[in-house]
Amino acid sequence: MTIAEMLELRHEQKLTWLDWMNACGPEGNNLTAYIEKRATVHDCINMARAAAKAAGLPTMGRDGMHLRYFIATHKALPVK
């Protein structure tokens, strides 16, 4: 799926990515827990836009750029 297609379907299409947290096994050993997250393309763009705003970067008219940034940063994949 292309960026243009994702932008066209931004309210329906979802992306998924993994996040992690430190965890502890039953014997006290350190583990990593992987958490699957998903959100609409629209929400992913808005999350990337918030990061751009916090960094003092422009936020308007750059939806494709914000989406590419989000996908690259989170290694996000389209949900089929």
What is the per-residue pLDDT across 24-70, written as a single tens digit (0 to 9) for each?
A: 999 999 999 999 999 999 999 999 999 999 999 999 999 999 999 99
For residue 21, give its domain range.
3-78
Q: How many domains does the chain have?
A: 1
Nearest 5°: CA angle at 79, between 8 and 36? 130
For 13-25, write each residue's pLDDT tens digit: 999 999 999 999 9
Residue 37, number of CB atoms within 10 A of its CB: 11
* Nearest-angstrom CA–CA distance, 77 and 80: 9
